[in-house]
Amino acid sequence: MHIPATFCSIIPPYILRRLARLDEPRFSAAARAAKEALSHVRSVQSARTQPAPAAPPALRDVRPGPPNRSIYDAGGSEILPGKLVRKESEPASGDQSADEAYDGLGHTHRLFADIFGRNSIDGQGLPLDATVHFGKLYDNAFWDGRQMVFGDGDGEVFERFTRSLSVIGHELMHGVTQYSAGLAYRNQAGAINESMSDVFGALVEQYLNSQSVTDASWLIGEGLFTPQVEGSALRSLKAPGTAYDDDVLGKDPQPDSMDSYVRTSADNGGVHINSGIPNRAFYLTAETLGGNAWEAPGRIWYDALTGGSLPATATFRVFARSTAASAVDLFGTDSPEHDAVRQAWETVKVKL
**Could you tell me the end-to-end alpha-carbon distance of the chain, in angstroms, rounded to an integer?**
30
Pick the catalytic residue from 100, 156, 159, 171: 171
The yes-or-no answer on residue 272 being catalytic is yes
The Cα–Cα gap between 48 and 189 comes to 19
Note the maximum CA span of the chain. 60
The Cα–Cα gap between 87 and 268 comes to 36
Pick the catalytic residue from 40, 109, 272, 338: 272
Angle 291-315-183 from CA coordinates, rounded to 5°: 80
Beta bridge partners of 52: 3
Return all residues near 62 (Cβ < 8 A) that are at least 6 apart. Answer: 119, 123, 124, 125
The Cα–Cα gap between 278 and 331 comes to 21
Return all residues near 79 (Cβ < 8 A) that are at least 6 apart. Answer: none
Residue 220 Cα distances to 201, 205, 251, angstroms: 7, 10, 16
Active-site annotation, residues: 171, 272
